[in-house]
């Protein structure tokens, strides 16, 4: 069993991005810019945005956070996004989710210029991903693909089971695996007998937010297990969706939580923003 060290890989990606940013500054006088919209006072969202801002500073990006009150109107958010669409210094626009209930999330995401949609949530980029065309893919699934590449884990011809069908993780993860010529099954809350699907998979990718969902009897010997879930237990510990201690001995590769997929998400956000800046150049 080998641990997939997302923390170390993310640091390597960040170092590569920082080096490319320096080259871009010297050769084209371009500094990649990321703008974040944060609505309300959700502590988790605030912590995540703070981490993104720190990562931007580390690699030499220009970054700005538009912090808006919980009561902000949908039209005011749209007006801010439209302003950033026109701003030549901004290469990436990110709306921190979830948004308050009175805001139509889909409508907000549709306003973002697809060329600046570094989260990969705009319908245009979703369509490009489904069709195997060039565009922006969501950062968490993209981070998983980067892990496969770094650890020489081949997807072509493999059976992949994606547990969870969210628009942010499950669906784009399935599309990326399909584009890599894997045979993909997507399971979700209405799937009957989850074990029959996971137990025959060469690669199990799970991201639903339910601690201990994947147990040892649900995974075949030698499988690769990617745990995207993150859950806080009553004793304060952070765990994934996989019963790590029981499942790990059966795996060829497995991601830990924390220190697995999580750090890769922000690393891929930086990489997507750099990609956008290069397109501007």
Q: Judge whether 5 counts as a catalytic residue.
A: no
Residue 75: count of CB within 10 angstroms of its CB: 8
Give yes or no: 42 in active site: no
Q: Exactly one of 5, 91, 96, 117 is catalytic; which is it?
A: 96
The catalytic residue among 5, 91, 119, 202 is 119
Which of 5, 52, 117, 146 is an active site residue?
A: 52
Residues 6+ apart with CB under 8 A from 48: 96
The reply to whether 210 belongs to the active site is no
Give the active site residues.
52, 96, 119
């Amino acid at each position: 069993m080998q641990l997939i060290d997302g923390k170390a890989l993310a640091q390597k990606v960040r170092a590569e991005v920082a080096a490319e940013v320096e080259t871009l500054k010297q050769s084209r006088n371009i500094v990649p810019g990321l703008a974040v919209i944060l609505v309300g006072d959700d502590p988790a969202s605030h912590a995540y945005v703070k981490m993104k801002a720190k990562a931007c500073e580390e690699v030499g990006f220009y970054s700005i956070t538009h912090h808006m009150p919980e009561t902000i109107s949908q039209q005011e958010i749209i007006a801010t996004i439209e302003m950033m669409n026109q701003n030549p210094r901004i290469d990436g626009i990110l709306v921190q989710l979830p948004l308050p209930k009175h805001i139509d999330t889909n409508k907000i995401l549709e306003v973002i210029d697809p060329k600046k949609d570094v989260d990969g949530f705009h319908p245009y980029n979703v369509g490009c991903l489904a069709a195997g065309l060039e565009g922006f893919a969501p950062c968490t699934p993209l981070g998983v693909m980067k892990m496969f590449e770094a650890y020489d884990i081949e997807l072509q011809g493999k059976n992949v089971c994606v547990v969870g069908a969210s628009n942010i993780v499950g669906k784009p993860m399935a599309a990326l695996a399909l584009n890599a010529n894997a045979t993909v099954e997507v399971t979700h809350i209405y799937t009957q007998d989850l074990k029959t699907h996971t137990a025959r998979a060469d690669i199990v990718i799970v991201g639903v937010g339910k601690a201990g969902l994947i147990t040892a009897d649900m995974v075949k010997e030698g499988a690769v297990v990617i745990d995207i879930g993150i859950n806080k237990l009553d004793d304060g510990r952070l765990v994934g969706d996989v019963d790590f201690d029981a499942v790990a001995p059966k795996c060829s590769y497995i991601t830990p939580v924390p220190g697995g997929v999580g750090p890769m998400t922000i690393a891929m956000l930086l990489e997507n923003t750099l990609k956008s800046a290069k397109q501007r150049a």
